[in-house]
Amino acid sequence: MASRYIHVHARVHINGGAANLRIDVTVMTTAAGTEC
């Protein structure tokens, strides 16, 4: 699961750049909130 998430994250980052980086941060925050 983690491996897949990292893979998608990296792929999106390379594809989008700054714009996608912002989306990744939002997703990361949501995941952290859910975990918490």
Chain segment 1-36, per-residue pLDDT in tens = 566 666 666 666 566 666 666 776 777 666 666 665
Does residue 20 fall inside a structural domain?
yes
20, amino acid identity: N
Does residue 36 fall inside a structural domain?
no
Number of domains in the chain: 1
Q: Containing domain of residue 25, as a range?
A: 1-30
Longest dimension (CA), the chain: 30
Judge contact between 17 and 23, C-beta under 8 A. Answer: no
Cα 33 from Cα 13, distance rounded (Å): 21
Task: Give residue 31's pLDDT.
Answer: 65
Reported pTM: 0.26
Does residue 35 fall inside a structural domain?
no
